[in-house]
Every structure is written in C-alpha cells, then in structure tokens.
Amino acid sequence: MQTRFSWFNVTSIVLGFAFLYIPILLLVIYSFNESRLVTVWGGWSTKWYGSLLNNEQLLTAGWVTLRVAFISATFATILGTLAAIVLTRLGAFRGRTLFSGLVFAPLVMPEVITGLSLLLLFVAIGMDRGFWTITIAHITFSMCFAAVVVQSRLLDFDKSVEEAAMDLGATPVNSFFQVTLPIIAPAVISAWLLAFTLSLDDLVIASFTTGPGATTLPMKIYSQVRLGVTPEINAVSTIMIAFVTVGVLAASYITKRSTMKAAADARKAQ
C-alpha cells in the first residue's frame, strides 16, 4: 500500500516541525549574538560562552544537574526494568493491579502534587533537603517512564531463547544477563536516556525538594529569566541542546548496531 502525500499533509508536517524547531534554532543563533540585548542582533560572537565559563553559579548548577540526572536515571532504569520484569513475567499474582497502579501513577500525577507529597515525606522523616532529596524525587517520577519503555520490549520478547539457554545449563540469572539483557539493551538504553532527559528538564519537583547548595540548572535559569533573559542563558541552553543531541545520536547508533548484530546472529542460527 503506497502512502499518498497531499499538499495538506506536507504543509501540516512543515508547519509542525517549524513550530517545534524554529524557536530552538533562534535560541542557538542568538547565543552567538555580540549584543548584550538578546532581542537586538549585534553580529556574531562567542564571548558569551567565554563569559559562561566564569559564571560560577551557572557552572555549579549545571554540575549538580548532571550528577542528579546521571544517578537518578541509572537507579530509575534499574528499578523500572525490575518492575517491567515483574509485570510481564510473574503473571496474574495477587496485588498485581495495586502494584501496577503504584508503578504507573506518576505518569498521570501532576508534578505539583508529586513534589508537594515528597516534600511532606522528607519533612516528616526529618531528612535534610538537598542533593539526595532531589535525586530520590527524580528516581520516583522517572522510574515509571523507564518501566513503560522496557515493558513494551518485554511483551514481544521470545522466551524460547531464554529456555534454550537454560536447557544448555544456564541458571535463570545467567540467562537474564547473558541472553535477555543484551536483547533488550536498546530498550534499556532508551529508558535511561528518557529518565536522564526528564531529570535534566525538571523544574517543579526539584523546586519542592531542593535545599541549600542544591540548585539545579532549570531552577537557576528560571530565577534569572524572571529578571530578564541574558545571553549567557542562551549559551548554556545551547550547550544543553548539543549535549542531548549527542546523547540521542549515540543511542541511535548503539541501537542500530545492536539490531544489526541481532539480525546477523539470527541469520547464523538459521
């Protein structure tokens, strides 16, 4: 069946992509603006990137954000993968509905409610708010996204591969790490990247659970934007865009290689 392209479809696609990416392109261009006034073009310059290297507050906030994102994404992916395995492999166990609801509740929960409830929890247990409270909060809300991604891959997973490995003497644990995990690795990597991006982007939940010395980059940018956008904010935003773009391209390359390797192994097995 051939796909038909009409002028309406083409125009809709072009306008949709333009709406999404032209503002990002303008932000990148104006990060090289010579003028301090972000709305007035004064020529090309990279001085704001140099100025950014001397901005201790933005650099500290960026380092905190990267640490939180890396740690939270790693633990969220591990916990999300375990939750996906439970939901796809254990069948209709008692409490499955409750467990599934608890895992996926943050997907539909407003961030304000999640942030406020976590704040009340940390206050109730007497935990000082700071770096680790933000990390725990990000693990809590990003774990469900990781579980959704990995579960979608496990639903169409061919269990006969695992059974063949166990028939050859592998234990269930060895079968998982040597057979299952390499096959679902693209989904696990995608889940990690999604959790990492969500942590980088979060402002609301981090605002509720932060404390002294734990200001994330979105919080810092938001506090400065209220006083007026500066070229340094354009520069740091451009760096974040480049960082995420490189991560997405790397993940796409790894996923493509894994898919090609799996296809080659399947041909050899035949």
Pull the structure tokens for residue 255.
């996923």
CA distances (Å), 65 to each of 138, 192, 193, 217, 224, in order?
Answer: 11, 16, 15, 6, 16
Pull the structure tokens for residue 240.
């974040």
- What pLDDT is recorded for position 2? 52
- What pLDDT is recorded for position 1? 46
- What pLDDT is recorded for position 269? 52
Alpha carbon 40 to its chain centroid, in Å, reads 34
How far apart CA 240 and CA 73 sit, in angstroms, is 17
**Angle of helix 7-30 versus helix 231-269 axis, rounded to 10:** 130
- What pLDDT is recorded for position 67? 92
- What pLDDT is recorded for position 77? 94
How far apart CA 31 and CA 235 sit, in angstroms, is 5
Pull the structure tokens for residue 194.
């999604």
- What pLDDT is recorded for position 270? 53
- What pLDDT is recorded for position 4? 64
Domains in the chain, ordered, with CATH? 7-45 (no CATH), 56-269 (1.10.3720.10)
| Tens digit of each residue's pLDDT, the chain (270 residues) | 455 667 878 888 888 888 888 888 888 888 888 877 767 777 888 888 888 788 888 888 888 898 999 999 999 999 999 988 888 877 777 887 888 888 888 888 888 998 999 999 999 998 888 889 999 999 998 999 999 989 888 888 777 777 787 777 777 778 888 878 888 888 888 899 889 988 988 889 999 998 877 888 888 888 877 777 777 888 888 888 887 788 778 777 777 776 677 666 656 655
